[in-house]
Amino acid sequence: MKYILSFILIVLICNQSFSQETNKKSSFTFEVAMPPVFSNESFKGVVKPIVYVSPFYQHRVKGNFALGYGVHFTYWQLNQFKVPVSEPVKGGVNNLGVFIKPSYEKFYSDFFGIDFGVKVGYSQTYFNTDFNYSLSGGAQMVESLHIAPTVGFIFNNEEEGDAYRFTLGYHIQGISYNPSRLGVSTFSGYDPAKFSNPLGYLVVGFGYTHYFK
C-alpha cells in the first residue's frame, strides 16, 4: 500500500509540472479490472478474484476539478482448494456499490492525461454460498461504506473524442470478514483476532472513456 501512495504522490507532482488546459467538460467511462484482495488474510485465503466493473459519468466543475458518480460490481469466487475440508462450501461473493468521485484531471498533451480521484459511497456485499442458502434460504448480505483512491492514465484519441485508460485503485470496504459469513463454523486455520480487519482490495485494469463535446 505504501508503494501505491508513493506512486500517486509522484503522479500529482508531475501533474502540476507538465499539465495543460483542456476543453473536455464531461465524459463517460467504463472500467474492467481484476480485484485481488490485499487485506484480511482469512478472506484473501479462500477467494479467487474474478472481475471488477465500474461505469461512471464525470463532469468538470471548475478548472481541472471534476465530480463524477457511478456504480461498481465486484465478484470473487470461492477457491475450492482453500475452503475447509470439513465444510466444503461452494459459491462466491458479490459486491455492489454506488459512489461519487471528486477528481482532478489534467492532460500533459493532446494525447495523454491523468485522472486522480477518490470514489466514496455505499456498498452491499452478498455472500452467496450453498451453506447460507441451506441455513437461511438466501445469501448473507452486509451493508457498508467504502472509499477508493484511484488514478487513471488516459491515452486520448483526439479526433474521435474517445480515450483508453489504465486504471489503478485501492478499495477499502467498511466491513470485516470471518468464515461465518460463508455459513461455516470452522476458522479455516486463520487467527480469529485478525477477522476484524477491514476488507481491502486492489483494482488493476483498463477502461474506455468517451468525451462529450
β-strand partners of 37: 201
- When divided into structural domains, the chain yields a total of 1
- Rounded to 5°, the CA angle 201-135-193 comes to 45
| Consecutive H or E run containing 210 | strand 199-212
pLDDT string in tens for the chain (213-residue length): 444 444 444 444 444 444 444 566 899 999 999 999 988 888 888 899 999 999 999 999 988 999 999 999 999 999 888 887 777 889 999 999 999 999 999 988 888 999 999 999 999 999 999 999 988 888 999 999 999 999 999 998 766 678 999 999 999 999 888 888 888 887 666 777 777 788 899 999 999 999 887
Distance (Å, whole) CA 151 – CA 106: 12
Look at residue 13 and give its three-state secondary structure: helix
CATH number, residue 154: 2.40.160.20
Is 71 in contact with 97 (CB distance < 8 Å)? yes
Q: What is the pLDDT of residue 196?
A: 77
Residue range of the domain that includes 94: 2-212
User: Which runs of E-coded beta strand occur in 37-194?
Assistant: 47-62, 65-78, 91-107, 112-129, 140-157, 162-173
> Which pTM value belongs to this model?
0.83
User: Which of 182, 45, 179, 201 lies closest to 119, judged by CA?
Assistant: 201
DSSP 198: P
